Amino acid sequence: MNEAIDTNVVALEINSLGVRYGDVQAVQDVNFTLQKGQHLTLVGPSGCGKTTILRAIAGLETPTQGSISLFNRTVFDAAAGINVPAEERELSMVFQSYAIWPHMTVFDNVAYGLRLRKVPKDEISRRVTWALDMVGINEFANREAPQLSGGQQQRVALARSFVFNPAILLFDEPLSNLDAKLRTQMRVELKELTTRIGITSVYVTHDQEEALSLSDVVIVLDQGKMQQLSDPITTYFRPANTFVSEFMGTSNVISARSKGPVNSSGLSLVELENGFEIYCSGQLPKNEPGIVAIKSVHLHITPTDPNKHKNCWQCRIVTRLFVGDFVEYRLDFDGLNLLVRDLSYRLFDEGQLVYCHVKPEHANLLSMVQ
Amino acid sequence: MGKSRTKFDKERLTEHTTPRISTIRTTNYLQKVVFLSTSILVSVIVLYPLGMLIVSSFSPTQTISDISASPLQGYLLLFREWELVRNSIVIAIGATALALTFGITLAWILTRAQIPFKNFLEQLVIIPFYMSPLLGALGWIVLASPGKVGLINVVVMQIFGLSESPFNIYTPLGIIWVLGIFFTPFSFLIISAALRSMDPSLEESSRVIGAGKFRTAFIITLPVVKPAILNSALLIFILSLGNFAVPAVIGMPQGYLVMTTRIFQYVSGFDPNFSAAAAMGISLFVFGAIGVYLQSALLGGKHYTTVTGRAFRPRLIDVGRWKYFLVSIPIIYVLVTVVLPLGVMIWSSFLRWTTFDIKLAEFTLANYHFILNEYPITIIAIKNSLIVAIIGASLTMSICFVLAWMVQRSKIPAVRILEYISIIPLSVPPMVFSIGLLWAWINFPLLPIYGTLWILILCNVTILLPYGVRTMSATIVQLDKNLEECAQVIGASWGKVIKTVTLPLISQGFLAGWTLIFVATLNELAAMALLVTSNTMVLSVAVYDLFNQNTYPNVAVMALLQAIIIVIVLAIARAIGKQYGVTSA
Q: Measured between beta carbons, which residues in chain A are less than 8 angstroms from residue B28?
A: 85
Q: A125 pLDDT exceeds 90?
A: yes
Task: Report percent pLDDT > 90 for chain B.
Answer: 41
- Say if the Cβ atoms of B486 and A93 lie within 8 Å: yes
Q: B308 pLDDT exceeds 70?
A: no
| Triad B98, B104, B105: Cα angle to 5° | 90
Helix, strand counts (H, E) of chain A:
8, 21
Domain of residue A351, residue span: 250-367
**Number of CB atoms found within 10 A of residue A81's CB:** 7
**Any idea of the CA torsion for B360, B361, B362, B365, to the nearest 10 degrees?**
170
Look up the CATH number of the domain holding residue A16.
3.40.50.300
- Say if the Cβ atoms of A146 and B505 lie within 8 Å: no
Residue B307 has what pLDDT? 36
Chain A and chain B share a number of CB contacts under 8 A equal to: 148
Q: B486 pLDDT exceeds 70?
A: yes
At A314-327, the pLDDT tens digits run 999 999 999 998 99
Q: What is the mean pLDDT of residues B254-266?
A: 90
- Helical (H) or strand (E) element with B246: helix B245-246
Residue B312 has what pLDDT? 58
Indicate if A261 and A233 belong to the same structural domain.
Answer: no
At A22-79, the pLDDT tens digits run 889 999 999 999 999 999 999 999 989 999 999 999 999 999 999 999 999 999 999 9
Q: What is d(CA B290, CA B418) in angstroms, rounded to the nearest whole number?
A: 20
Asked, for residue A82, whether it belongs to a domain, the answer is yes
Q: What is d(CA A5, CA B258) in angstroms, rounded to the nearest whole number?
A: 80
Residue A370 has what pLDDT? 57
Among the ranges A222-226, A281-285, A364-368, which has the highest mean pLDDT value?
Answer: A222-226
At B206-219, the pLDDT tens digits run 778 877 777 887 78
Residue B304 has what pLDDT? 39
Residue A310 has what pLDDT? 81
Indicate if A221 and A347 belong to the same structural domain.
Answer: no
Distance from CA of B567 to the nearest CA of A (A): 30
Q: What is d(CA B242, CA B530) in angstroms, rounded to the nearest whole number?
A: 14
For an interface test with A, the pick among B483, B489, B499, B505 (most A C-beta atoms closer than 10 Å) comes out as B489
A172 DSSP β-pair partners? A204
- Say if the Cβ atoms of A87 and B483 lie within 8 Å: no
Do residues A341 and A262 lie in contact, with contact meaning Cβ atoms separated by under 8 Å? Answer: no
Indicate if A206 and A115 belong to the same structural domain.
Answer: yes
Task: Report percent pLDDT > 70 for chain B.
Answer: 88
**Three-class DSSP category at A90:** coil
Which of A188-192, A312-316, B482-486 is the least confident region?
A: A188-192
Indicate if A224 and A164 belong to the same structural domain.
Answer: yes
Which of A40-44, A307-311, B137-141 is the least confident region?
A: A307-311
Identify the closest residue of chain B to A97 by CA–CA distance: B482
At B77-117, the pLDDT tens digits run 777 788 888 999 999 999 999 999 999 999 989 988 888 88
Residue B9 has what pLDDT? 41
Q: How far is CA A211 from the centre of its chain?
A: 3
Asked, for residue A182, whether it belongs to a domain, the answer is yes
Q: Measured between beta carbons, which residues in chain B are less than 8 angstroms from residue A144?
A: 583
Bin B210: left if φ > 0, else alpha if -120 < ψ < 50, else beta. Answer: left
Asked, for residue A4, whether it belongs to a domain, the answer is no
Q: B10 pLDDT exceeds 60?
A: no
Residues 6+ positions from A285 with CB-CB distance below 8 Å: A258, A260
B223: pLDDT confidence band, cut at 50, 70 and 90?
A: confident
- Report the residue from B8, B12, B24 with minimal CB separation from A116: B24
Indicate if A214 and A279 belong to the same structural domain.
Answer: no
Asked, for residue A5, whether it belongs to a domain, the answer is no
Do residues A11 and A71 lie in contact, with contact meaning Cβ atoms separated by under 8 Å? Answer: yes
Q: What is the mean pLDDT of residues B346-362?
A: 84
Which of A98-107, A350-359, B411-420, B481-490 is the least confident region?
A: B411-420
Asked, for residue A267, whether it belongs to a domain, the answer is yes
Indicate if A209 and A262 belong to the same structural domain.
Answer: no
Out of A237, A264, A279, pick the residue that ends a domain.
A237
Q: B403 pLDDT exceeds 80?
A: yes
Q: A274 pLDDT exceeds 70?
A: yes
Mean pLDDT, chain B, whole residue set: 84
Q: What is the mean pLDDT of residues B317-344?
A: 90
End-to-end CA distance of chain A: 31
Q: What is d(CA A247, CA A239) in angstroms, rounded to the nearest whole number?
A: 9
At A231-265, the pLDDT tens digits run 999 999 999 998 999 899 888 999 999 988 887 77
Half-sphere exposure of A356 (CA within 13 A, CB side): 26
B8: pLDDT confidence band, cut at 50, 70 and 90?
A: very low
**Three-class DSSP category at A234:** helix
Residue B300 has what pLDDT? 58
A309: pLDDT confidence band, cut at 50, 70 and 90?
A: low
Q: What is the mean pLDDT of residues A263-292?
A: 88
- Number of compact structural domains in chain A: 2
Per-window interface: A 127-166 vs B, CB < 8 A: 127, 130, 133-136, 138, 144-146, 155, 158, 160-162, 164-166
**Any idea of the CA torsion for A300, A306, A308, A314, to the nearest 10 degrees?**
70
- Say if the Cβ atoms of A135 and B492 lie within 8 Å: no
Indicate if A131 and A231 belong to the same structural domain.
Answer: yes
Indicate if A204 and A286 belong to the same structural domain.
Answer: no
Q: A4 pLDDT exceeds 90?
A: no
Asked, for residue A49, whether it belongs to a domain, the answer is yes
Asked, for residue A3, whether it belongs to a domain, the answer is no
Residues 6+ positions from B285 with CB-CB distance below 8 Å: B50, B53, B427, B428, B429, B432
Q: What is d(CA B509, CA B507) in angstroms, rounded to the nearest whole number?
A: 6
Mean pLDDT, chain A, whole residue set: 90
Q: B296 pLDDT exceeds 80?
A: no
Out of A190, A206, A237, pick the residue that ends a domain.
A237
Residue B448 has what pLDDT? 79
Per-window interface: A 31-50 vs B, CB < 8 A: 36-37
- Say if the Cβ atoms of B411 and A117 lie within 8 Å: no
Strand order in the sheet with A353-357: A300-302, A353-357, A312-322, A326-333, A336-343
- Helical (H) or strand (E) element with B461: helix B453-478
Q: Measured between beta carbons, which residues in chain B are less than 8 angstroms from residue A99?
A: 480, 482-483, 485-486
Higher pLDDT, B126 or B57: B126
Residue B27 has what pLDDT? 57
Q: What is the mean pLDDT of residues B302-319?
A: 54
Q: B337 pLDDT exceeds 90?
A: yes
Q: What is the mean pLDDT of residues A303-324?
A: 88
Indicate if A233 and A261 belong to the same structural domain.
Answer: no
Q: B277 pLDDT exceeds 90?
A: no
B439 vs A138, B53, B205, B284, B447, CA distance in Å? 66, 7, 59, 17, 13
Indicate if A67 and A119 belong to the same structural domain.
Answer: yes
**Three-class DSSP category at B165:** coil
Amino acid at the residue B505: L
Q: What is d(CA B244, CA B541) in angstroms, rounded to the nearest whole number?
A: 11
B432: pLDDT confidence band, cut at 50, 70 and 90?
A: confident
Please state the length of chain A.
Answer: 370
A32 DSSP β-pair partners? A14
Out of A216, A237, A258, pick the residue that ends a domain.
A237
Q: What is d(CA B399, CA B464) in angstroms, rounded to the nearest whole number?
A: 11
Q: B585 pLDDT exceeds 70?
A: no
Indicate if A88 and A151 belong to the same structural domain.
Answer: yes
Residue B316 has what pLDDT? 76
Do residues B132 and B540 lie in contact, with contact meaning Cβ atoms separated by under 8 Å? Answer: yes
Residue A110 has what pLDDT? 95
Residue B22 has what pLDDT? 41
Amino acid at the residue A325: D
Among the ranges B132-146, B303-317, B354-368, B435-449, which has the highest mean pLDDT value?
Answer: B132-146
Residue B398 has what pLDDT? 96
For an interface test with B, the pick among A110, A116, A185 (most B C-beta atoms closer than 10 Å) comes out as A116
Indicate if A174 and A308 belong to the same structural domain.
Answer: no
B554: pLDDT confidence band, cut at 50, 70 and 90?
A: very high
Task: Report percent pLDDT > 90 for chain A.
Answer: 65
Q: What is the mean pLDDT of residues B141-158?
A: 85
Asked, for residue A151, whether it belongs to a domain, the answer is yes
What secondary structure letter does DSSP report for B248?
A: I
Residue B25 has what pLDDT? 52
Residues 6+ positions from A191 with CB-CB distance below 8 Å: A213, A214
ipTM over 0.90: no
Residue whose C-alpha is closest to residue A270's, from A258, A253, A262, A281: A258
Q: B445 pLDDT exceeds 80?
A: no
Q: Measured between beta carbons, which residues in chain B are less than 8 angstroms from residue A164?
A: 490-491
A3: pLDDT confidence band, cut at 50, 70 and 90?
A: low
Residue whose C-alpha is closest to residue B17's, from A212, A355, A293, A200: A200
Residue whose C-alpha is closest to residue B150's, from B130, B129, B177: B177
Higher pLDDT, B343 or B59: B343
Look up the CATH number of the domain holding residue A320.
2.40.50.100
Higher pLDDT, B29 or A72: A72
